[in-house]
Amino acid sequence: MKKKIISRLLMLLYVVAVCLLCFLHLGNGFDMASGWLGLPKDKVVHSLMFLPFPVLMYMAFHRQSGKAGSFIMFMILTLIIGAAAGGGIELLQEATGYRSCDIADFRADCIGLFVGSIAVLLYAALSKKW
């Protein structure tokens, strides 16, 4: 039970950090126009920002039932919640006046969610912690 409380606190801290990164008015002090390894830097940041979401959801909320089907449903729900959060953030950023709504950012968020989900899937399959 103590692990779940710590995991849920980590999830809460993660959500707060993502909200701060997405909604703070940072001004022009950061050069996000350039790239890393040929990829736009801001898209890499978006992917990395959403990559931990499935891992933290698994740690905080998954209850092992021993059934792969319930695990798959949990992961699908996690992807839907994560994608809804990413899409909602993009829409809310448009309303701020100092951030913009970008479908490419949403795609990068979804890539991070997908990669994180694959990592959780591999962990659960190898450890048989469905």
The string of pLDDT tens digits covering residues 60-69 is 999 988 888 9
> So what's the pLDDT on residue 33?
66
Residue-range definition of the domain harbouring residue 99? 2-28+35-127
The distance of Cα 128 from the centroid of its chain, to the nearest Å, equals 24
Tally of structural domains, the chain: 1
Contact 21, 34 (CB under 8 A): no
Q: Using a pLDDT cut of 70, give the percent of the chain over it.
A: 95
pLDDT for res 36: 76
pTM: 0.91
Tokens 């809804």: give the residue. Answer: 84
